[in-house]
Amino acid sequence: MSKQEYTITVYTENQVGLLTRIATIFSRRKINVDSLNTSPTEVEGIHRFTIVIDEAEEVVRKLVRQIEKQVDVLRAFYNTGEEIVWQEMALYKVPTDEIAEKVKVERLLREHGARAVVIRKDYTVFETTGHREETDNLIKVLAPYGLIEFVRSARVAIIKASSGFHAMLREFEERDPGEGIAENEYLAQNQQVFAM
């Protein structure tokens, strides 16, 4: 079972304490969370967690079932990088005099799609958004020019195959929902085993 990066998307009720409940599912199993973001969704009152971990699929599948089992969780999905569109934002604080003196730095930043958010006499803060490799690369590039501080946001991701949560929520609100809601996706996957 080889590990790889998975992005877990969790649709939840907006409930105090749910963050702890979900976090302990990972910490209890000594699994490090690489990135965690909570956000509103297109549906009012529904929250969305985006969690990134590096684990084997077998482990991720079990974790997702444990998450989905929580009373206030509507649905949880896991995806590989290819199945999602994702971005992370990073901020870089660099001494302003270095940039002003060296035109090269300015050019490097442009090449990396960074833009200045704040420019002060003593420092400038740049922002860039992209994949992990891109934001990481810029650290390397800026290091020789006295990078003072760096911070990266959690990942936000959209599942390519998803058609949003509006329709799904209507199903959830039904007492007798369709099969898509009343069954776990793994059962459908298992079906393929028998189709052979």
Contacts to other proteins by CB under 8 A: 12-13, 15-17, 20-21, 24, 28, 61-62, 65-66, 68-74, 169, 172-173, 175-176, 179, 181-184, 186-187, 190-191, 193-194
DSSP string covering 140-175: HHHGGG---EEEEPPPEEEETT---SHHHHHHHHSS
Rounded to 10 deg, the angle between the 18-27 and 57-68 helix axes is 150
Q: Closer to other proteins at the Cβ: 151 or 188? A: 188
Q: How far is the CB of 31 from other proteins (least distance, A)?
A: 14
Q: Closer to other proteins at the Cβ: 64 or 157? A: 64
Q: How far is the CB of 64 from other proteins (least distance, A)?
A: 9
Residue 131: DSSP 8-state: -
Residue 106, H or E segment: helix 103-111
Q: Closer to other proteins at the Cβ: 38 or 153? A: 38
Q: How far is the CB of 79 from other proteins (least distance, A)?
A: 19
Q: How far is the CB of 183 from other proteins (least distance, A)?
A: 6
CA distances (Å), origin 104, targets 32, 108, 115, 131: 38, 6, 15, 24
Q: Closer to other proteins at the Cβ: 28 or 140? A: 28
Measuring CA to CA, which residue among 89, 115, 93, 80 is closest to residue 37? Answer: 89
Question: What is d(CA 135, CA 168) in angstroms, rounded to the nearest whole number?
Answer: 34
Q: Where are the beta strands (DSSP E) in the chain?
A: 4-13, 35-40, 46-55, 73-79, 84-95, 115-119, 123-130, 149-152, 156-159
Q: How far is the CB of 126 from other proteins (least distance, A)?
A: 38
Q: Closer to other proteins at the Cβ: 82 or 176? A: 176
